[in-house]
Structure 1
Amino acid sequence: MKKILASHLSAGPTLVAWLGATVLVERLWAFCLPAVLLLVLLAVVCCVRSGSGTGPPPGPPAEGKAVFITGCDTGFGNAAAKHLDSLGLDVFATVLDLTGDGARALRRSCSSRLTLLQVDITQPQQVQQALLDTKAKLGLRGLWGLVNNAGVCVNLGDAELSLMSNFRGCMEVNFFGTVSVTKSFLPLLRQAKGRIVNISSPAGDQPFPCLAAYGASKAALNLFTETLRHELVPWGVKVSTILPSSYKTGKPRPQTSTWPHLQGAASKAAPPAAPSSNNAYWEQQHQQLLQSLPPALMEEYGEDYIAETKDLFQSFAEHANPDLSPVVNAIVHALLSPQPQLRYFAGPGIGLMYFIHSYCPLSISNRFLQKLFVKKTLMPRALRKQSGLEKNNTKNNNKII
Structure 2
Amino acid sequence: MTSTVNKVIKVIDNIINYITYAHNHLLSVIIFYFLKQKPFHVHLPSPTNGYHPAVLITGTSSGIGLDTTLTLVKQGYKVFAAVRKEEDAKKLYAIFKELINPKQGNLIPIVMDVTNKQEIQSACTFIRNNLRRETPLIGLINNAALSINLPIEVASEDAFIDSFNTNYFGLVNVTKKFLPLLREGHGRVINIGSIDSWNAPPTMGINSSTKAAIRTMTKIWRMETRTMGIHFSLIEPCAISTKRSERKTNDFRNFKSFSSTSPYYYDEDNDNNISPNTLFNYSNLYKSVGENFGKFEISMPTEIVTDAITHALTSPYPMDTYYVGLDSKMIAALSWILGDRLIEAIESKIFCNV
Q: Using structure 2 for the length normalisation, give the TM-score.
A: 0.76
**Residue from 248, 254, 267 that aligns with 1:292:** 267
Taking the TM superposition and a 5 Å limit, the aligned residue runs for 1:15-164 are 52-53=16-17, 60-63=43-46, 64-100=52-88, 103=92, 106-110=95-99, 113-140=106-133, 141-157=135-151, 159-164=152-157
Provide the residue aligned with 1:376 in structure 2.
Answer: 352
Provide the residue aligned with 2:199 in structure 1.
Answer: 206
Q: Deviations over 1:87-146 (max 9, x none)?
A: 111111011123138525643444571000111100001001111111121123431000
**Residue from 299, 304, 307 that aligns with 1:329:** 307
CA contact (8 A) 1:286 1:310 kept: no
Q: Deviations over 1:232-281 (max 9, x none)?
A: 11111111000000113333xxxxxxxxxxxxxxxxxxxxx687346499
Provide the residue aligned with 1:222 in structure 2.
Answer: 215
Question: Which range moves more in the overlay, 318-327 or 143-152?
Answer: 318-327
CA distance in 1, matches of 2:339, 2:273: 37
Provide the residue aligned with 2:283 in structure 1.
Answer: 306
CA distance in 1, matches of 2:169, 2:43: 32
SS of 2:87's equivalent in the other structure is coil
Provide the residue aligned with 1:344 in structure 2.
Answer: 322
CA contact (8 A) 1:277 1:314 kept: no
Letter of the aligned partner of 1:292 in structure 2?
Answer: D
CA contact (8 A) 2:242 2:301 kept: no
Provide the residue aligned with 1:197 in structure 2.
Answer: 190
CA contact (8 A) 1:70 1:149 kept: yes
CA contact (8 A) 2:155 2:265 kept: no
Computing the radius of gyration over CA atoms, which structure comes out larger, 1 or 2?
A: 1
Letter of the aligned partner of 2:286 in structure 1?
Answer: T
CA contact (8 A) 1:51 1:347 kept: no
Question: Which range moves more in the overlay, 205-214 or 131-140?
Answer: 205-214
Provide the residue aligned with 2:168 in structure 1.
Answer: 175
Question: Which range moves more in the overlay, 241-250 or 59-68?
Answer: 59-68
CA contact (8 A) 1:244 1:350 kept: yes
The yes-or-no answer on 1:366 pairing with 2:339 is no
Gaps of 5+ in 1: 1-46, 252-272, 380-401
Letter of the aligned partner of 1:75 in structure 2?
Answer: G
> Which aligned runs of 4 or more in structure 1 are off by greater than 6 angstroms?
54-59
CA contact (8 A) 2:156 2:265 kept: no
CA distance in 1, matches of 2:93, 2:298: 25
Provide the residue aligned with 1:354 in structure 2.
Answer: 332
**Offset of residue 191 of structure 1:** 0.6
CA distance in 1, matches of 2:183, 2:68: 23
What percentage of residue pairs aligned between the two structures are identical? Answer: 25
CA distance in 2, matches of 1:104, 1:142: 22
CA contact (8 A) 1:54 1:326 kept: no
CA contact (8 A) 1:51 1:349 kept: no
Provide the residue aligned with 1:187 in structure 2.
Answer: 180
CA distance in 2, matches of 1:238, 1:96: 27
The 1:108/1:369 distance shift into structure 2, 3 A limit, reads: farther
CA distance in 2, matches of 1:72, 1:296: 41
Letter of the aligned partner of 2:78 in structure 1?
Answer: D
CA distance in 2, matches of 1:303, 1:330: 42
SS of 1:160's equivalent in the other structure is helix
**Offset of residue 215 of structure 1:** 1.6
CA distance in 1, matches of 2:92, 2:275: 41
CA distance in 1, matches of 2:15, 2:259: 34
Letter of the aligned partner of 1:107 in structure 2?
Answer: F
CA distance in 1, matches of 2:63, 2:255: 18
Letter of the aligned partner of 1:137 in structure 2?
Answer: N
CA distance in 2, matches of 1:65, 1:330: 19
Q: How many residues align?
A: 308
CA distance in 1, matches of 2:188, 2:75: 17
CA contact (8 A) 1:92 1:114 kept: yes
CA contact (8 A) 1:67 1:144 kept: yes
